[in-house]
């Protein structure tokens, strides 16, 4: 007999596909995905975003077909972004009853009532300057912006949004929106806060899709510095104290350490936002034949789960659904 050596045989649990699935620690399921949608004003519009192949800006008349496709794929939640024709200093299009997101939300709730509508609550797609709040002295005024963001959240809830997702990074946005929703009778509408949102170059393609590039300066006075980790925990803790029901960490892939830190710190569901730049990079490499897109994407999604994401917002949700159903 060979003398017993003192090492562990880890390969025993990797010996076959059945064995590997038996011991797999993380799983992807479509219930955990949220698919972002860009709704434009006008009719008969279905524009592919040039930096995001496979992602389209659609007009209201395409919403029904889109919902049917998503339903058939098993996608149960959408994140709504609006691309209005008119912009102004205040971002009025974000909070009027006839705003593009409000119209689209009503349409979705009429066509497919069980689809969960998550409304992104921000002003940047609606302001002429492209910032996420109101500008005073070349800077975004926190407390003035809060009033408009609260109005936006209430008008989204009035239109039928199931979840309010403030992404503007003003201080106090969760408590101010919570109070406004409660006063308007929407005590049961949860807040999915973009609690930890870094100032990131990975948002580039989104700004093409949503036409929301700042016209001057950048977002560094309100979005977080990528160098910081403890600051993320301060943001997460204050949002939980203010009443957030879910916390988003964004971007996802370069910040998986932060996803794990937040998951270990709070007891709300944690959401990873797999952002536009992360999508565009994979699509570009895949188009060149440099990577195996399916394997790469499924690996990345699993990595987000392993890091502690309960939910994933991703432009890949449709692709993942197809791959999982194969």
Q: Which residues bind ligand PBG (CB under 6 A)?
A: 120, 122, 124, 132, 167, 203, 206-207, 275-276
Active site residue 64: no
273 is in an annotated binding site: no
132 is in an annotated binding site: yes
235 is in an annotated binding site: yes
CB of 314 to ligand PBG, least distance (A): 9
Is the Cβ of residue 114 or residue 225 nearer to ligand PBG in the bound state? 225
Phi, psi angles (nearest 5°) of residue 127? -95, 145
Residue 145's Cβ-count burial label (10 Å; 0-12, 13-18, 19+) is buried
Active site residue 250: yes
Is the Cβ of residue 192 or residue 275 nearer to ligand PBG in the bound state? 275
CB of 125 to ligand PBG, least distance (A): 7
Q: Which two tokens stand for residue 288?
A: 């060149």
303: CB partners within 8 A, 6+ apart: 253, 256
Is the Cβ of residue 120 or residue 242 nearer to ligand PBG in the bound state? 120
Is the Cβ of residue 145 or residue 276 nearer to ligand PBG in the bound state? 276
Q: What is the DSSP letter of 188?
A: T
Catalytic residue from among 76, 151, 220, 250: 250
103 is in an annotated binding site: no
CB of 120 to ligand PBG, least distance (A): 5
124 is in an annotated binding site: yes
Strand partners, 127: 88
Q: How far is Cα of residue 4 from the mean position of the Cα atoms in its chain?
A: 53
> Which of 121, 117, 278, 126 lies closest to 202 in space, CA to CA?
278
CB of 135 to ligand PBG, least distance (A): 15
* Secondary structure of 133-170 in HEC code, one letter for each residue: CEEECCEEEHHHHHHHHHHHHHHHHHHCCCEEEECCCC
Contact call for residues 119 and 165 (beta carbons, < 8 A)? yes
Catalytic residue from among 87, 197, 300, 305: 197
Distances (CA, A) of 2 to 5, 10, 307: 8, 19, 41
What secondary structure does DSSP assign to 220-285, as a single string? TTTSBPTT-SHHHHHHHHHHHHHT-SEEEEES-GGGHHHHHHHHHH--S-EEEEE-HHHHHHHHHH
Phi, psi angles (nearest 5°) of residue 5? -100, 155
Report d(CA 315, CA 209) in Å as an integer.
Answer: 12
CB of 201 to ligand PBG, least distance (A): 10
CB of 265 to ligand PBG, least distance (A): 23
Is the Cβ of residue 157 or residue 275 nearer to ligand PBG in the bound state? 275
Q: Which residue is nearest to ligand PBG (CB)?
A: 206
Q: So which residues are the catalytic ones?
A: 197, 250
Point out the annotated binding site for 5-aminolevulinate: 207, 219, 276, 315
Point out the annotated binding site for Zn(2+): 122, 124, 132
Point out the annotated binding site: 122, 124, 132, 207, 219, 235, 276, 315
């Amino acid at each position: 007999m060979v003398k017993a050596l003192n090492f562990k045989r880890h390969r025993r649990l990797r010996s076959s596909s059945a064995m590997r699935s038996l011991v797999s620690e993380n799983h992807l399921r479509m219930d955990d995905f949220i698919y972002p949608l860009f709704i434009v004003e006008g009719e008969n519009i279905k524009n592919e975003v040039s930096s995001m192949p496979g992602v389209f800006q659609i007009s209201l008349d395409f919403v029904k077909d889109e919902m049917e496709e998503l339903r058939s794929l098993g996608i149960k939640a959408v994140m709504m972004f609006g691309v209005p024709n008119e912009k102004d200093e205040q971002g009025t299009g974000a909070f009027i009853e006839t705003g593009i997101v409000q119209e689209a939300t009503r349409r979705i709730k009429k066509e497919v009532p069980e689809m969960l509508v998550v409304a992104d609550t921000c002003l940047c797609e609606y302001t002429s300057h492209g910032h996420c709040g109101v500008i005073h002295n070349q800077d975004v005024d926190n407390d003035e912006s809060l009033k408009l963001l609260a109005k936006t959240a209430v008008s989204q809830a009035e239109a039928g949004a199931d979840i309010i997702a403030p992404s503007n990074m003003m201080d106090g946005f969760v408590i101010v929106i919570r109070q406004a929703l409660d006063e308007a009778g929407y005590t049961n509408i949860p807040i999915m806060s973009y609690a930890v949102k870094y100032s990131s170059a990975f948002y580039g393609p989104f700004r093409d899709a949503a036409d929301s590039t700042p016209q001057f300066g950048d977002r560094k006075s309100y979005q977080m510095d990528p160098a910081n980790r403890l600051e993320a925990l301060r943001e997460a803790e204050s949002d939980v104290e203010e009443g957030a029901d879910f916390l988003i960490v964004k971007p996802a892939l370069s910040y998986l350490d932060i996803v794990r830190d937040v998951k270990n710190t709070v007891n709300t569901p944690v959401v990873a936002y797999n952002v536009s730049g992360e999508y565009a990079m994979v699509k570009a490499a895949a188009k060149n034949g440099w990577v195996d897109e399916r394997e790469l994407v499924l690996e990345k999604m699993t990595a987000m789960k392993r890091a502690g994401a309960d939910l994933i917002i991703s432009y890949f949700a449709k692709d993942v659904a197809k791959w999982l159903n194969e």
